[in-house]
Chains A and B, each alone.
Chain A
Amino acid sequence: MAGYLVRRLVETLLLLLVMSFLIYGLIGLMPGDPIDLMVSADPNLTAADAQRLKALQGLDVPLPQRYWRWLMATLSGDLGYSRLYARPVLEVLGPRLLNTLLLMGTSLVLALAIAVPAGILAALDPRGPVDNTINLLAFAGFSMPSFWLGLLLIILFSVQLGWLPAGGSASIGESGLLDRLRYLILPVLTLTLLTAGTFIRFVRAAMLEALREDFIRTARVKGLSTTSVVIRHALPHTALALITITALHVGSLFSGALVVETIFAYLGMGKLIYDAVIGNDYNLALVALLLATLVTLLANLLADLAYGWLDPRIDYGG
């Protein structure tokens, strides 16, 4: 087990290094750097100005050299300044990360809380009215475009009923939890409805498979109640599927949800990463994307470890 863990951690570090080079390279290869855009917009900028500004922002040297400089600075703990926000990268990332964790974490927990019972109920009545209804809602959930659902909720709860704010993260001058929660309700609801649909399908499929297993039949023959069979015997069997989908979604806890954040003017990581990539903000884009990559890799590592814990037949030796 220890050997496996060390090997996976080394692989993670190597992958991060490769990812950092790829991300840096891809952003760098996008046509039009910030100074090119300035030149095209400002008729007074001369060739010498453009050259001077490029040198000032380190854009006058070849891409591999720029990457090397960035890597060395990062390894020495200097994550640099965000070009778009004119502040240190960590200062920009911190509040956004917190907002995103709050948004994505809440919606993930709620989606699981809806999906597990709904998936089980659907599996207990395959092709019956309950299954059909839940399936219909699940399909509706993951088929709806997030921007459309978000706008629909804004129109209903903010415009028509006037109950909830249409967007933002908090009221100006307010720092209370209740105020934050009011701003969270609509984006969380949007994300939950979208995510729960997918999760329900996973849980239903895993539960259906579990209910077809011999040990379930044995439990039923022994006279156990349906609730007992499901909770004590079938549900643990679906845990692998649940861990898989949760691990896959953990990355998004750190990378945010671009469309939902844009619709609700919510200051999260999704919009930050998008703006950083489009705005050639290397420092910010790299740190944000690498953070999301790292978390995804670690979540998958934890998922792999959990598989072994839940199912002793899984062997990490080889």
Chain B
Amino acid sequence: MGRSWYVTILACSVALLLAGAARAAPDRLTIGMTQYPATLNPNIDSMAAKSYVLGFTHQPFTQFDAEWNLRCHLCTDLPSLEAGTAEIVERDDGTQGVRTTYTIDPEARWGDGTPVTTADVAFTLEVGKHPDTGVSNAEMYRRIVDLEIVDDRTFILEDEKLGFLYPSINDFRLLPAHLERPVFEADPKTYRNRTLFDTDPTNPGLALGPYRVASLDSGGFIALERNPEWWGEPPAFDEIVIRTIENTAALEANLLSGEIDMVEGSLGLSLDQAIAFEARHGDRFQLFYKPGLIYEHIDFNLDNPILADLRVRQALIQGIDREALSEQLFGGRQAVAQTFVNPLDWVYTSDVPSYHEDLEEAGALLDAAGWTEWRDGVRHNAAGEPLRLTLMTTSGNRSRELVQQVLQSMWRRIGVDLRIQNEPARVFFGETMRQRRYPALAMYAWISSPENVPRTTLHSNEIPSAENSWTGQNTPGFKNARMDELIDEIEITLDRDERAPLWHELQRIYATELPVLPLYYRADPHIWPLWLEGVEPTGHLAPASLGVENWRVRDDG
């Protein structure tokens, strides 16, 4: 065998290796995202990646849709007091509960053909209420004080507390009793490690949506195929592959090379990356910026004596140009916030004090607060203390670090010496914020659902402390009696028209008292191929994948 043989063999091998670089077939849609779900069990752990995957494979009973209206997925109708499918329960202690009747869609069945019945509901509740299973949505299950099985398809839940969202059971995620009960009963304590959703994820009986899991490589990809038992509108794609690529630069490269067709907005490129990507490759992809319920803001630590003074907080918000900040850093795609309520939410009101850059007014407020003496460009008070504040956020978050630098230079103009101190997310959220250890200012985001009552973030009972084991999310330490009353009242006011003025008053208190410096509502950049249509990001916690039946290849695509 001569030298030419080696060359021929080598050339053939290279050709074979390179020839396989096939483009995705038109009946397959490949989606890229930066996170891989830790588990596929719908009741264990809550993370965005899992929620997205389950949107394809597991229908919830109820969920808000892309128009932010609550709708039934697994049930036939939402319970209502008017229709008699919901009933208020008066208790001896004066409190009110609510009994809601749901009927499971008669067509609904698991991926192995087993009908969905109330036995699944009873089993799910049993798992949810068991103290040792460690489900992530335990509070919702705990609130359900009674389950009445009417027949195979109809059941009544009794919630210990009546609230305006009484028809929703978004977090009641059904488990297949015929498969999971033996696993659970063997040892509830280790159920979370032995659930079939993780040990046998391709079991067809776990599917309760348009798709089922066909194969997966933990940390790498999840391949979904059509669920033949799906009772709804058939989806357009035979196969959907969800690939995890954690590095966003590599995610971009995979898009450009055709390895992936689209990038999920909330788990993909940052907004500034997407804007740059659009400038370079906007002609090859559809870019859609979905504004949503992610509220970027800066918490004031109200225990800090400087920030306890409302005039200082007002000066800080008027000392920055948030419109210019949004325009310069995010191409104006993130609307400036006046409160935590998004203008897309029906409870929003613009009738609140609004703040814009006004350096003169900011200076006057600081003068009035006693920060009159300038030394080396920094204001000092009569005791000679500098107006020095520390702003913390998550390190490595490029967008936030950019904002920090802009804020530092803007506040310098009114004599505020801003120090930046960042921490890794697990330290920042796991300890610093949770235990209110940030000295002055902390920048991060909240994500919520439509008409989300801010009990945990603004009610005075929700200030984290050692006494309550650092639970609650009122990290600024905001205490306002009227705010507490409004929160309590809104929760139990069933009539929309009666709730609206309460919401408006709540927003006015927020904008007046400024426990938090509102920055903007974040927009998620979704990247789709030119040939895809029908994807509707919701802008809230419900994933766009819940509407996969509407995803289609364009007629001209």
Contact = CB atoms under 8 A, between A and B. Distances in A.
Contacts of A154: 250, 253, 257
B339 interface: no
Contacts of B138: 44-45, 49
A168 B138 CA distance: 36
A17 interface: no
Given A44-B137, A56-B134, A159-B256, A166 B250 contact: yes
A216 interface: no
A185 B17 contact: yes
A43 B434 CA distance: 11
A163 B258 CA distance: 11
Contacts of A151: 249-250, 253
Interface string B236-259: 000001011111011001101111
Among A84, A169, A172, A262: residue with most chain B CB under 10 A: A172
A85 B21 contact: no
Given A47-B471, A164-B21, A30 B426 contact: yes
Contacts of A267: 217-220
A178 interface: yes
Size bracket, chain B contacts: 35 or more
B418 to A, nearest CB: 24
Contact of B257 (A51, A92, A159): A159
Given A158-B257, A164-B21, A42 B136 contact: yes
Contacts of A179: 20
Given A81-B193, A169-B217, A263 B427 contact: no
Contacts of B123: none
A220 interface: no
B185 to A, nearest CB: 18
Interface string B132-164: 101011111000000000000000000000000
A278 to B, nearest CB: 7
B220 A32 contact: no
A32 B429 contact: yes
A171 B257 contact: no
Interface string B246-278: 110110011011110000000000000000000
A87 B20 contact: no
A278 B134 contact: no
Contact of B140 (A32, A44, A169): A44
B246 A86 contact: no
Interface in B168-227: 189, 192-193, 195, 198-199, 215, 217-221, 223
B38 interface: yes
A275 B38 CA distance: 11
Contacts of B96: none
A271 interface: yes
Contacts of A95: 217
A44 B473 CA distance: 10
Interface stretch (A33-41, A120-128, A240-248, A285-293): A33-41
A77 interface: no
A263 B426 contact: no
Given A50-B471, A84-B38, A265-B250, A271 B17 contact: no
A173 interface: yes
B430 interface: yes
B481 interface: no
B39 A265 contact: no
Interface string A82-103: 0011110000100100000000
A167 interface: yes
A43 B138 CA distance: 11
B4 interface: no
B501 to A, nearest CB: 25
A162 interface: yes
Contacts of A173: 215, 223
A144 B544 CA distance: 40
Given A87-B198, A166-B254, A172-B223, A39 B244 contact: no
B131 interface: yes
B257 A172 contact: no
B468 A265 contact: no
Interface string A146-159: 01001100110011
Given A185-B17, A262-B250, A265-B220, A39 B434 contact: yes
Contact of B431 (A32, A159, A272, A275): A32
A62 interface: no
Contacts of A53: 134
B8 interface: no
B38 A85 contact: yes
B259 A166 contact: yes
Contacts of A56: 132, 134, 189
Contacts of B473: 40, 43
Size bracket, chain A contacts: 35 or more
Interface in B259-310: 259
A162 B250 contact: no
B470 interface: yes
Given A30-B426, A39-B434, A158-B259, A178 B16 contact: yes
Contact of A182 (B21, B139, B244): B21
B17 A181 contact: yes
A120 B33 CA distance: 46
Given A158-B259, A169-B217, A40 B38 contact: no
Given A30-B426, A159-B253, A39 B246 contact: no
B429 A40 contact: yes
Given A31-B426, A169-B220, A40 B469 contact: no
A163 B471 contact: no
A86 B39 contact: yes
Given A44-B137, A92-B218, A272-B219, A31 B250 contact: no
Among B21, B198, B246, B258: residue with most chain A CB under 10 A: B21
Contacts of B471: 39, 45-47, 50
A43 B46 CA distance: 12
A267 B221 CA distance: 10
B18 interface: yes
B456 interface: yes
Nearest to A264: B250
11 contacts: A39-B470, A40-B473, A47-B470, A49-B139, A87-B218, A151-B250, A158-B253, A158-B254, A173-B215, A178-B17, A178-B20
Given A159-B253, A265-B247, 19 more contacts: A31-B426, A31-B431, A39-B470, A46-B139, A47-B469, A47-B471, A52-B132, A85-B38, A87-B199, A147-B249, A158-B254, A164-B18, A164-B21, A167-B259, A178-B17, A182-B18, A265-B244, A265-B246, A265-B254
Interface of A: 30-33, 36-47, 49-53, 56-57, 81, 84-87, 92, 95, 147, 150-151, 154-155, 158-159, 162-169, 171-173, 178-179, 181-182, 185, 262-265, 267, 271-272, 275, 278
The 3 A-B pairs with the shortest beta carbon distances in the complex, nearest first, are A32-B430, A47-B469, A43-B456
